[in-house]
Chains A and B, each alone.
Chain A
Amino acid sequence: MEINPLIGVGILLVIAYVFFYLPQSQIRQILVFIILFMIGYALVITVAEMPAFGALDTPAYNLVAARYIEGTVGETGALNVIAAIITDYRAFDTLGEATVLFVAIAAAVSNLKTH
């Protein structure tokens, strides 16, 4: 479904006005209820559009998954496909993950030292 960007911006402005600037009143409560109902409705119809569990025509079930399953042993020598993905095909991503761990522990230790 094609949506005009201006309509989307308008909806966002209305939501921001209601949530952040409208004073506490009966009208505010009704508007908040309507907005939350609309958001919830959109989320529910999105979930209803999703493919069934284990369906063969899932968008995630594409060439990439087949490539990993067929090529892992030949290309990486590992039997565990997940280990091959996280430390070979996506090794740079895992390096970033290790960096996140490092920064998190550095921040935690440097803050807790003062106690």
Chain B
Amino acid sequence: MEDIVVRSISRLIVPFIQLYGLYVIFHGHLSPGGGFAGGAIVASSMILYGISFNLEAGSRKLSHDVSSLLESGGALWYLLVGLIGILLGSNFLANKIAGVNLGTPGQLLSSGIIFLLALGIGAKVASTMITLFYSLSGGESSDGNRT
């Protein structure tokens, strides 16, 4: 789409959407939201960028490799955080029982593994939505050719 109004406004608003998405992810244990909601907000900013500019510009900003790295990294991060519980001598994904320091309720760095898991879920949901959008709209194929 070659519209100067849409381009200018989306260029202006995309950083704020991303900041809000990161806020929702990082404050998942304090306020409504969390990994799923925040990841969807972050992904929607990239989808808005891809729609208002073109798909090539969007995939230059966040390439397929980075996206798939986030995808697998989110899942592996979730598993690694879950293994903390086993290393501390308790169950998989254990939080207070394993003796993780919970901190003061209400602080940003509190609630043990909940905060860490939300980061993994956020990265995973965001990269899933972005990859699906760019794959379905045919912006990027496996060997870099536009289809």
Contact = CB atoms under 8 A, between A and B. Distances in A.
B141 A87 contact: no
Contact of B105 (A77, A83, A87, A108): A77
Contacts of B103: 77
A94 B35 CA distance: 11
A91 B141 CA distance: 35
Interface residues of A, number: 28
Interface range, B side: 35 or more
Interface in A71-100: 73, 75-80, 82-84, 86-88, 91-92, 94-95, 98-99
Contacts of A112: 135-136, 138
A84 B117 CA distance: 11
B17 interface: no
Contacts of A84: 29, 111, 114
- What's the dominant secondary structure at chain A's contact region? helix
A101 interface: yes
A98 B75 CA distance: 7
B102 interface: yes
Q: Which of A73, A91, A94, A95 has the most CB of B within 10 A?
A: A91
B75 A109 contact: no
Interface of B: 28-35, 71-72, 74-75, 78-79, 82, 92-93, 95-96, 102-106, 110-114, 117-118, 120-121, 124-125, 128, 131-132, 135-136, 138, 141-142, 147
